[in-house]
Chain A
């Protein structure tokens, strides 16, 4: 019996090796080139025009609302806010999920990967324009570290090569094109994301900029900035 099992297991492995070719997509991280600024700009401009009304239907049909809430503000801290996110950034994110650029910690993102794999460019453009059309509301009240964080966000700290976040993400954290809005973002998600950039677990940004810009920040500062952005609204 045991011998039998062994032999068949070996046979089984051969059989599987064969079949892996057809199922690679569901288990292996796809090899996708990192974004360059030009490639990203080209991809985004090639996307179809989005329609807000159709996007609302997509949000329901693809069950975005089950986790991210009716207007993109999630029910709980476990899911990011996508309320009022720029259309370009949501489109980029969905493309990254679909093509395997955001495979970081696949076990947490696999819901998004599967959803995105089942969406067309048109659906992605529509749903992204729907969320872009929503008003961002704050997730929490300002905390004691608000002013400290605001200073860092608006002026940075050149002594440590920490860039001013507001330079790219907007004075109100409203985002700009493929640079995401941060206002109203869930602080837990914000912290987790920063950690992922640092650990190179998340590498879907252009030229690995995010890691460079934020290397000098202490964990306390990251928490303070997370709390600051969570309390903003646009």
Chain B
């Protein structure tokens, strides 16, 4: 399962839009994505992009809270 923390917002938005339109083959995201408006997708993307990027492990709650407080951009670029 891909992790979304620290993922560039454009990649999240593009993926969600592609799932929604059906241009990217999906297992489950086709249906999940159709439940959200474009604005909601953007809001979520901006949230995830600010979470600290962790390669192997899940982002913990404490890390997430700290990242939010600092308004960090998790992705390196």
Contacts and interface: CB of A to CB of B under 8 A. Distances in A.
Complex contact flag A–B (Cβ < 8 Å): yes
A66 B27 contact: yes
A105 B56 contact: yes
Interface in A186-202: 187-188, 191-192, 195
B73 interface: no
Measured as residues with beta carbon below 8 angstroms from the partner, the interface class of chain A is 10 to 19
B7 A76 contact: yes
B32 to A, nearest CB: 15
Given A66-B24, A76-B2, A78-B2, A195 B55 contact: yes
B7 A75 contact: no
Contacts of B43: none
Interface in B13-61: 14-15, 18, 24-27, 53, 55-56
Given A75-B18, A78-B2, A79-B2, A63 B56 contact: no
B72 interface: no
Given A77-B7, A77-B8, A78-B7, A192 B55 contact: yes
A138 interface: no
Interface of B: 2-3, 7-8, 11-12, 14-15, 18, 24-27, 53, 55-56, 75-77
B56 A76 contact: no
A78 B29 CA distance: 15
Interface in A209-233: 223
Contact of A75 (B3, B15, B53): B15
Majority DSSP secondary structure for residues of B touching A: loop
A215 B12 CA distance: 34
Interface of A: 63, 65-66, 75-79, 105, 108, 140, 143, 187-188, 191-192, 195, 223
Contacts of B75: 77
A135 B3 CA distance: 28
A78 to B, nearest CB: 4
B57 to A, nearest CB: 10
A66 B26 CA distance: 6
A214 B3 CA distance: 27
Given A76-B11, A76-B15, A79-B2, A108 B24 contact: no
Interface centre among A63, A66, A76 (most CB of B within 10 A): A76
B70 to A, nearest CB: 21
